[in-house]
Amino acid sequence: MTLPNVRHQNVGGFRRQAKDKTPQRNFKLQIEYDGTHYHGWQVQNSKTANLNYRNSQTIQHILEKLLKQLLQEDIKLTVAGRTDAGVHALAQVANFRSRTQMPLNRLRWALNCLLPEDIKVTLVKHVPPDFNSRFCAKSKLYRYTILNRKYSSPLLARRVYFFHHPLDVGLMRKEARVLLGRHNFTAFAATEKPRQRNPMRRIKKISILQDKYLLYIDIQADSFLYNMVRNIAGTLLEIGRGRFPAGSMAKILRSRNRKLAGPALPAKGLCLLKVEY
């Protein structure tokens, strides 16, 4: 992907203003993106050529570069949740500080003119100076989508996980309820990442919705361990297909042993639906 060159552009008649001493204001962005072709949200910390290329393929890098070109300021985005490579977002939230006096609707319009088709800003608003997209968030809602039938879908292939085995959805719902509340979720944390100091998380809501062939696993929590949703979804599939018997979820949760849980499902089925403040 090549970023748009806006060095000499005058978007919508807006002319960049010279730097002044105008006080900075705090801006909140709501962002929708298809993560298929990106190495996740976060800019990678490396000076190597390979990872510099990867930085050009992250959501954060693209947005920060375009904001800098539009506003003529160094922009640093703080994000609610750093999605991984291939993960999508319907309403990701980020904030930044700037001295710009550009009207909010013009800023959104200008950004969306320059952004690639798979990244769009759906909202721009002023927020109080102490607003922080990450630390002010009360909960996040993720959805994992599964296509459960005998054949895959070319139209949905980038956003669902295809699973052809029959599933006992009723048993999956019963087992999922075990995860409600505050628990140690070490059994559902990624083993390739260093263990987080505090593996305690509170799942506020968990539901499994069925719409014909589509299965939606929705999980809302105060925060998540790395790969936690994908690991839970993989465990629920093992239960639904009969590989794990009834009562398995409680045993796995208590064990704090990642090896006892199901596999991490692919990133493409995961989407950040909402961040609550």
Nearest-angstrom CA–CA distance, 205 and 219: 6
* pTM assigned to the model: 0.88
Amino acid, single-letter form, for residue 148? N
Q: Which is nearest to 238 in space by CA: 265, 271, 270?
A: 265
Q: How many alpha carbons fall within 13 Å on the CB side of residue 265?
A: 27
pLDDT at 191: 82
How many CB atoms sit inside 10 A of residue 96's CB?
A: 21
pLDDT at 9: 46
Check 84, 118, 168, 222 and give the catalytic one.
84
Angle of CA points 152, 158, 161, to nearest 5°: 55
Give the mean model confidence (pLDDT) for residues 219-242. Answer: 97
pLDDT at 21: 76
Structural domains in the chain, CATH included, are 20-127 (3.30.70.580), 139-276 (3.30.70.660)
> What residues does 203 pair with on adjacent strands?
181, 221
Catalytic residue list contains 74: no
Q: What is the pLDDT of residues 71-116, one digit of tens each?
A: 999 999 999 999 999 999 999 999 999 999 999 999 999 999 999 9
Nearest-angstrom CA–CA distance, 24 and 127: 12
Q: Indicate if the pLDDT at residue 4 is higher than 80.
A: no
Q: What is the pLDDT of residues 138-153, one digit of tens each?
A: 999 999 999 999 999 9
Which comes out higher in pLDDT, residue 171 or 18?
171
Angle of CA points 163, 168, 169, to nearest 5°: 85
